[in-house]
Structure 1
Amino acid sequence: MTNLKISAISDNRLTAARLTMTAISTTLFLVSLVLIGLKGFNWGLDFTGGVVAEIQVHSNLILEDIKPLLDQILIQDVQVISSSETGQWIVRFSQSDKHVVELNEIFSHLPFTVEIINSSVVGAQVGQEMVEQGGLAIMACLLLTMIYLSCRFEWRLALGALVALLQDVVIVLGLFALMQWEFNLTILAAVLAVLGYSLNDSIVIADRVRELFRANPNGQADLLINDAIRATFSRTLVTSGTTLVTVSSLWLLGGATLEGFAVALCLGIVCGTWSSVSVGVSLPKLLGVAPIHFQPQIVDLEENAL
């Protein structure tokens, strides 16, 4: 009797925790949508167009010796990133198609010698095409995922996994809108990676839910969902934990170039693990999913024969 009471309390607490997580996820999702709508994104040069140049200067010069001068000359916030080689820097700044600035003219105003190793220019029109192609890539990914989930799961579980995917992407984008961090092609790649990672977590739990529902036609949906979460918790914790450690190392040691990519992945991993419980299985339960929906249909052969 004591074991039954402990089991019942555990299930009640887990159900309450799921509902609390769902409320938090819904709040974060709505707040992220508002931030995206109000603040927008700080588009990087990959999308707006601009100049990227790799330069060689004296090895004794540091960031504070270079960036303030370039900011003053170009009248904008110039990105100056240290390269892997000593004395080499990557300079990035925006410019319009109507006003093209010569690199030699810019660097000639600096009080030290600058050697241009290489440079590239991204036009504003090309940047706009990248915005459109990036949006299409995310939409195509969501569409193909929806088709896959619809074929694999009952529609309630499929919808839960799809909404969980959408929530993860929106929250990651909401953070970048809030902080106004640069959004470039590297961040877009991280967002697409988050889609795949979140889908993996949602499918693992949804698979377990389906198995338990099929094996227990008379079971209670809440209790079976809780059992599915318990059965997959250790696996999810180990997978997410090891991946998070790896990405965190990339964040700490990868330098400024990969910082945004690592931040997006870290947040995406946490959100993907969270949403697989808060949305992936909680939303189907709110929509009335039950073991009866996963039982094979019994066919009356005699009736069909007639």
Structure 2
Amino acid sequence: MVEMLKQNIRKIRYFTTFVSVVLTVIALVALGMKGLNLGLDFTGGMVTEVKVDKQLTNHDLLNALQPKLGESTSVTRSGEDGRWVIRYSAPTEGQTLPSVAETLKPISHEVKVVSNSIVGAQVGQDLFDQGGLALLVSVLTILGYLCFRFEWRLASGSLFALAHDVILVLGFFAITQMEFNLTVFAAILAILGYSLNDSIIIADRIRELLVAKQSWKTEQINDEAVLATFSRTMVTSGTTLITVGALWIMGGSALAGFSTAMFIGVLSGTWSSISIGTVLPEWLKLEPKHYLPVEIDTAP
């Protein structure tokens, strides 16, 4: 396996870069054409907590609620068995929605409304604006760090790898129209940190080799850097995916968006660090001389 990897690592890097470019274009087209299916956290709506028969499942409730309250209705478990939180869009002007209690009576002997509240559109807009600001601050901070630590050609590879990971996650949610809520947004911020860590490990190795192996071509240096960090990358990504997979299986619908976003982000973050993070500096003509001390002319 290792020998085969050594022989084909450059082909793998170039092929995954091509795949990344294609997937990024598809994701951007999907975002432009379909957009994100924003959840009630951002758009506002109704939140009702109810207590019903314990044997009822998430699917039973959705089958009864969605035809009456709309397809955006979501149901999550709230602590004890039989207690659920139901989120659905607020009625538009002139529209009247049936009550949750009346809608659930045909499938449950006990229907008790524990609480009922409204998430206003203004609150949702504030959350959207603050989330966008948090993302912007994170990206600018990362950009400043990369510019400080690496030469701009090497830093650009890490930066574009980060953008690629976020775009792929957003594109997936645009294509599938899964609900984009605050938990998914939190996953995107986590993906930025994870992917950045992966990119820095490889970029740091490239920088060391540029100074130590000045006679080597940049392509050889990048191959060696990927090989030197490959086992560490696989162990880190593998253990993270196991954890995310556990959340995906055991977390239920409440964590479905978060775990899905994290799973895609970890996978794309792993290959983008190997592909975009190394290939882009090659295209920008990164060479050992860019990391050698600048000679100062001491002649009078």
TM-score (norm 1): 0.89
Q: Which position in structure 2 is the counterpart of 1:248?
A: 245
CA contact (8 A) 1:213 1:291 kept: yes
The number of equivalent residue pairs is 295
Give the drift of 1:141. Answer: 1.2
Give me the whole-angstrom Cα distance separating, in 1, the residues matched to 2:240 and 2:62: 35
Q: 2:266 aligns with which of 264, 269, 274?
A: 269
> What is the DSSP-based 3-state SS (H/G/I as helix, E as strand, rest coil) of the residue aligned with 1:81?
strand
Q: Which has the larger radius of gyration?
A: 1
Structure-2 change in CA distance of 1:100 and 1:106 (3 Å): farther
CA contact (8 A) 2:166 2:191 kept: yes
Give me the whole-angstrom Cα distance separating, in 2, the residues matched to 1:201 and 1:10: 19
Structure-2 change in CA distance of 1:128 and 1:98 (3 Å): farther
Give me the whole-angstrom Cα distance separating, in 2, the residues matched to 1:161 and 1:224: 16
1:16 aligns with 2:3: no
Give me the whole-angstrom Cα distance separating, in 2, the residues matched to 1:100 and 1:173: 32
1:107 aligns with 2:104: no
Give me the whole-angstrom Cα distance separating, in 1, the residues matched to 2:266 and 2:177: 21
Q: Which position in structure 2 is the counterpart of 1:85?
A: 80
Give the drift of 1:117. Answer: 1.9
Structure-2 change in CA distance of 1:64 and 1:11 (3 Å): closer
CA contact (8 A) 1:73 1:106 kept: no
Mapping for residues 185-204 of structure 1, pairs under 5 Å: 185-204=182-201
Q: Which position in structure 1 is the counterpart of 2:216?
A: 219
Q: 1:70 aligns with which of 58, 62, 65?
A: 65
Give me the whole-angstrom Cα distance separating, in 1, the residues matched to 2:204 and 2:141: 19
Mapping for residues 130-169 of structure 1, pairs under 5 Å: 130-169=127-166
Give me the whole-angstrom Cα distance separating, in 2, the residues matched to 1:107 and 1:251: 30
Q: 1:39 aligns with which of 34, 41, 58?
A: 34
Q: 1:30 aligns with which of 12, 22, 25?
A: 25
1:55 aligns with 2:42: no
Q: Which position in structure 2 is the counterpart of 1:124?
A: 121
Give me the whole-angstrom Cα distance separating, in 2, the residues matched to 1:100 and 1:122: 18
Q: 1:291 aligns with which of 285, 288, 298?
A: 288
Give the drift of 1:108. Answer: 3.8
Q: Which position in structure 2 is the counterpart of 1:232?
A: 229
Bigger shift: residues 193-202 or 119-128: 119-128
Give me the whole-angstrom Cα distance separating, in 2, the residues matched to 1:137 and 1:150: 20
Give me the whole-angstrom Cα distance separating, in 2, the residues matched to 1:158 and 1:182: 33
Cα shift readout 1:160-197 (whole Å, capped 9, x = no counterpart): 10000000000011001111000000000000000000
Structure-2 change in CA distance of 1:276 and 1:64 (3 Å): closer
Structure-2 change in CA distance of 1:176 and 1:77 (3 Å): closer
Listed as ranges, the gaps of 5+ residues in structure 1 are: 1-6
Give me the whole-angstrom Cα distance separating, in 1, the residues matched to 2:151 and 2:40: 43
> What is the DSSP-based 3-state SS (H/G/I as helix, E as strand, rest coil) of the residue aligned with 1:58?
coil
> What is the DSSP-based 3-state SS (H/G/I as helix, E as strand, rest coil) of the residue aligned with 1:92?
strand
Q: Which position in structure 2 is the counterpart of 1:184?
A: 181
TM-score (norm 2): 0.91
* RMSD of equivalent CA atoms: 2.2
Q: % of aligned pairs identical?
A: 45
